[in-house]
């Protein structure tokens, strides 16, 4: 046991103007998926809370001089903030594991460290960012100025609360903006502590604010006239609503990182089938499948189907479920509602003709926690629910192919395009597949994001648009102004 879940006193309420504040909106319950007997009574941000917070954020941009100061001045504060996050690593990881699905050992090894990495990386982008001078006749001068938008509304989901929040607030602040973050109402605690450390590092009060609440809070934030741009990560259905609200209330620019149905495309010449099987299982069971870029569709060349399937099943059978404070390979599903949704989609898929090869049922738990068996379904039917729906659980859909062209056709999903993997020992095959897969990210002989900030991430079609991470993930928080100077000719 890494910590005693019954002794943790998390930060509560919202974080507005550099201080914790109680919210005045509708009450809601927040329950630990690893310890369902632990319930926190919270309140959403009311419209009055939102109005006050956005006003403070807008005022802070002007009064602090944050946008106007040199990028190295901002970078120094972000570096100090990163150092404080590193120093409080275990404390923040406990808060991440308390009410979320992220295991404590993974939060300490990765999630909290990514927050510090993001602060340092985007500080570096701020220091090295360049604008352009365009070619003109000698008596004219044309150049661009990249300016912060002002106040950024950032809406983050519950599956990776720290990482996906950091992907937003770190670049937005580095670029000179203020941020109002709405975390998921299921997982607000860890990011509250991170925000507090920002003030300790010297971040001017009011530049980074956190408003708790469910979907209504996020919608009200998007509609607010004081919000200048919106960054959202979550489901495709909710992302469409965010886009519509932003368009109807000021034509605010929007960046959306949405759902996926990622393919793991395996050719018969793939090296080391054991390693490939490890990656396939990780791709669908990491965080119990509660990953937007999960490798949820295994598209395997028929010649190696049986061998690879056997290896995948063996590994799935060896996974161990348990609470987030234990070193487990299958953490809880976030709540009973999500567990019921996974079960319903699997049942619908089998009713529609998908063959159940393993798993397919919730795992009984005496403590009332929600777990789902690692599951493999087989179907070639593109109308099947397991193909159409983002299940967000440890459910893998299997299909086979013969030729390269058939493999690409089956790997490309008609609606989603967030991430895909290709496994082959042939470089020409790998590069051709990467070119022809209609996906925002393609991993070759790999699955999952490395501990790296330079590679941009984002999807196409119903998986969204705009990029997080990389230079593109910094640039999207800046608006470009063109300046033309007509000089007098001597």
310 and 202 both lie in a single domain: no
Single residue among 209, 239, 258 that ends a domain in this structure: 258
433 inside domain? yes
Residue 92 domain-assigned (yes or no) = yes
Output DSSP code: residue 287. G
Q: Is the pLDDT of residue 2 over 80?
A: no
Q: What angle do CA 85, 293, 377 make, to 5 degrees?
A: 135
CATH code for the domain of 305: 3.40.309.10
- Determine how β-strand 419-423 pairs with β-strand 375-378: unpaired
Catalytic residues: 182, 257, 292, 390
Q: Which residue, among 18, 34, 40, has the nearest Cα to 188 in the 3D structure?
A: 40
Global pTM reads: 0.96
Let me know if residue 480 belongs to a domain: no
Closest CA to 359 of 280, 276, 298, 285: 285
Answer whether residue 473 is part of any domain: no
Answer yes or no: are the C-beta atoms of 286 and 443 closer than 8 Å: no
The answer to whether residue 463 sits within a structural domain is: no
In a shared domain, residues 213 and 193: yes
Q: Tell me: pLDDT of 416 over 70.
A: yes
Residues 240 and 299 in one domain: no
pLDDT tier, 1 (very low <50, low <70, confident <90, very high otherwise): low
pLDDT at 6: 86
**Is residue 269 located within the same domain as residue 209?**
no
**Spatial distance between the Cα atoms of 266 and 56, rounded to a whole number of angstroms:** 52
3-class DSSP state of 204? coil
My answer on whether 187 and 294 are in the same domain is: no
pLDDT one-digit tens code per residue, 281-317: 999 999 999 999 999 999 999 999 999 999 999 999 9
- State the pLDDT confidence band at 58, using cuts at 50, 70 and 90: very high
Do residues 95 and 166 both lie within one domain?
yes
Strand partners, 8: none
In which domain, by residue range, is 107 found?
Answer: 5-258
- Mean pLDDT in residue range 37-56: 96
Most distant CA pair in the chain, distance: 87
Burial of 250 (0-12, 13-18, 19+ CB in 10 A): middle
Q: Are residues 298 and 332 in the same domain?
A: yes
Residues 382 and 417 in one domain: yes
Domain assignment of residue 164, yes or no = yes
226 inside domain: yes
| Each residue's pLDDT tens digit, 229-279 | 999 999 999 999 999 999 999 999 999 999 999 999 999 999 999 999 999
Q: Are residues 229 and 368 in the same domain?
A: no
pLDDT at residue number 262:
97
Beta strands in 321-435 (DSSP E): 355-358, 362-363, 371-372, 375-378, 395-401, 416-417, 419-423
227, 258, 289: which is the final residue of a domain?
A: 258
Q: How does the average pLDDT of the chain come out, rounded?
A: 96
Which residue's structure tokens are 């594991």?
A: 97
What is the DSSP annotation of 125-181?
A: HHHH----EE---TTEEEEEEEEE-SEEEEE--SSSHHHHHHHHHHHHHHTT-EEEE
Domain match, 193 and 79 both: yes
Q: Give the chain's radius of gyration (CA, Å).
A: 23
Under 8 Å between Cβ of 100 and 158? yes
For residues 343 and 415, membership in a common domain is answered with yes
HSE of 412, CA atoms in CB hemisphere, 13 A: 15
Where residue 209 falls among pLDDT bands split at 50, 70, 90?
very high
Candidates 349, 256, 275, 359; CA nearest to 317 is: 359
Residue carrying the six token digits 């567990």: 339
Alpha-carbon distance of 184 to 28, in angstroms, equals 12
DSSP state of 420: E
- 226, pLDDT greater than 90: yes
pLDDT at 204 (0 to 100): 98
293/282 Cα distance (integer angstroms): 12
CATH assignment at residue 99 = 3.40.605.10
Burial of residue 282, with CB atoms counted within 10 A of its CB: 0-12 exposed, 13-18 middle, 19 or more buried: middle
| Domains: count for the chain | 2
**Secondary structure (3-state) at 425:** coil
Q: What is the DSSP letter of 369?
A: -
395 phi, psi to nearest 5 deg: -125, 120
Q: Give a yes or no: residue 50 inside a domain.
A: yes
Question: Looking at the structure, do residues 143 and 249 belong to the same domain, yes or no?
Answer: yes
């Amino acid at each position: 046991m890494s910590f005693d879940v019954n002794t943790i006193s998390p930060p509560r309420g919202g974080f507005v103007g550099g201080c914790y504040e109680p919210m005045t909106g509708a009450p809601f319950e927040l329950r630990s998926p690893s310890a369902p007997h632990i319930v926190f009574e919270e309140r959403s941000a009311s419209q009055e809370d939102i109005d006050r917070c956005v006003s403070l954020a807008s005022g802070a941009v002007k009064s602090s001089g944050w946008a106007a100061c040199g990028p190295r001045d901002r970078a120094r504060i972000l570096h100090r903030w990163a150092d404080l996050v590193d120093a409080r690593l275990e404390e923040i990881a406990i808060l991440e594991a308390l009410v979320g699905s992220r295991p404590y050992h993974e939060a300490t090894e990765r999630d909290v460290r990514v927050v510090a990495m993001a602060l340092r990386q985007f500080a570096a982008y701020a220091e090295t960012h360049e604008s352009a001078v365009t070619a003109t006749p000698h008596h004219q001068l044309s150049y661009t100025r990249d300016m912060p938008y002002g106040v950024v509304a950032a809406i983050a989901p519950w599956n990776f609360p720290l990482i996906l929040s950091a992907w937003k607030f770190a670049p937005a602040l580095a670029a000179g903006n203020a941020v109002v973050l709405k975390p998921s109402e299921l997982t607000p605690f860890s990011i509250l502590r991170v925000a507090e450390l920002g003030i300790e590092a010297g971040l001017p009060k009011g530049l980074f604010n956190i408003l708790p609440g469910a979907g209504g809070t996020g919608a009200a934030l998007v509609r607010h006239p004081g919000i200048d741009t919106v960054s959202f990560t979550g489901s495709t259905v909710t992302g469409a609503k965010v886009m519509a609200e932003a368009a109807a209330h000021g034509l605010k620019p929007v960046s959306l990182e949405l759902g996926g149905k990622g393919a793991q495309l395996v050719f018969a010449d793939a090296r080391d089938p054991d390693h490939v099987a490890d990656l396939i299982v990780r791709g669908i069971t990491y965080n119990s499948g509660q990953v937007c870029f999960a490798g949820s569709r295994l598209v395997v060349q028929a010649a190696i189907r049986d061998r690879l399937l056997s290896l995948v099943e063996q590994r799935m059978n060896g996974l161990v479920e348990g609470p987030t404070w234990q070193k487990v390979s299958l953490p809880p599903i976030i709540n009973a509602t999500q567990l019921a949704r996974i079960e319903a989609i699997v049942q619908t898929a089998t009713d529609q003709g998908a063959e159940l090869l393993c798993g397919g049922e919730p795992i009984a738990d005496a403590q009332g926690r929600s777990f789902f068996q690692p599951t493999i379904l087989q179907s070639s039917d593109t109308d099947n629910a397991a193909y159409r729906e983002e299940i967000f659980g440890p459910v893998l859909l299997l299909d086979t192919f013969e030729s390269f062209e058939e493999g690409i056709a089956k790997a490309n999903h008609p609606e989603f395009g967030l991430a895909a993997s290709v496994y082959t020992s042939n470089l020409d095959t790998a590069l051709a597949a990467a070119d022809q897969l209609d996906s925002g990210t393609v991993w070759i002989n790999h699955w999952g994001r490395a501990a790296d900030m330079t590679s941009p991430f984002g999807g196409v079609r119903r998986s969204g648009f705009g990029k997080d991470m990389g230079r593109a993930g910094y640039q999207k928080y800046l608006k470009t102004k063109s300046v033309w100077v007509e000089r007098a000719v001597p």
